[in-house]
Amino acid sequence: MENKKRTEIAELGEFGLIDLLTQNATSNNSSTLKGVGDDAAVIAADRYNAMVVTTDSLFEGIDFDLTYFPLKHLGYKAVTVGVSDVLAMNATPEQITISLGVSSKIPVEALQDFYEGIEFACKELGIDLVGGDTSASMTGLVINITTIGRAKRKAITYRSGAQFNDLICITGNLGAAYMGLHLLEREKRVLHDVEQPEPQFKGYEYLLQRYLKPRARKDIIDLLAEEKIVPTSMIDLSDGLGSEVLQICKASKCGARIYLDRIPIAKQTSALAEEMHIDPVVAALNGGSDYELMFTVPLAMQEQVMRLGVVDIVGHITRESTGAYLVTPDGSDIKIRAQGFKE
Range from 70-74, 103-107, 216-220, 336-340 carrying the lowest mean pLDDT: 336-340
Q: Is 2 exposed, middle or buried (0-12, 13-18, 19+ CB in 10 A)?
A: exposed
Residue 290: helix, strand or coil by DSSP? coil
Residue of higher predicted confidence among 68 and 195: 68
Q: DSSP label at 275?
A: H
Q: Are strands 128-136 and 92-102 parallel, antiparallel or unpaired?
A: parallel
- Comparing C-alpha atoms, which of 100, 97, 101, 102 is closest to residue 132? 97
- Comparing C-alpha atoms, which of 177, 174, 171 is closest to residue 213? 177
For the chain, residues classed under CATH 3.30.1330.10 are: 31-155
Percent of the chain with pLDDT over 90: 81
Which CATH number is 159-335 given? 3.90.650.10
pLDDT at 337 over 90: no
Residue 209: helix, strand or coil by DSSP? helix
Dihedral sign from CA coordinates of 132, 152, 125, 83: positive
Q: What is the pLDDT of residues 227-263, one digit of tens each?
A: 999 999 999 999 999 999 999 999 999 999 999 999 9
Partnered with residue 58 across adjacent β-strands are 143
* pLDDT band (50, 70, 90) for residue 342: very low
CATH class as words, domain 31-155: alpha beta
5-to-2, 9, 11, 99, 109 alpha-carbon distances in Å: 8, 13, 13, 35, 47
* pLDDT band (50, 70, 90) for residue 38: confident
pLDDT at 201 over 80: yes
Q: What is the pLDDT of residues 208-218, one digit of tens each?
A: 999 999 999 99
Mean pLDDT (whole number) for 322-329: 96
pLDDT at 284: 93
DSSP sequence for 294-316: EEEE-GGGHHHHHTTSSEEEEEE
54-to-16, 66, 150, 218, 221 alpha-carbon distances in Å: 20, 25, 12, 16, 17
Q: At a CB cut-off of 8 Å and minimum separation 6, what does 336 contact? A: 242, 245, 246, 256, 258, 285, 324, 325, 326
Mean pLDDT (whole number) for 47-65: 95
The whole-chain average pLDDT of the chain stands at: 92
Distance between start and end Cα atoms, the chain: 19
Is this model's pTM higher than 0.75 or not? yes
For the chain, residues classed under CATH 3.90.650.10 are: 159-335
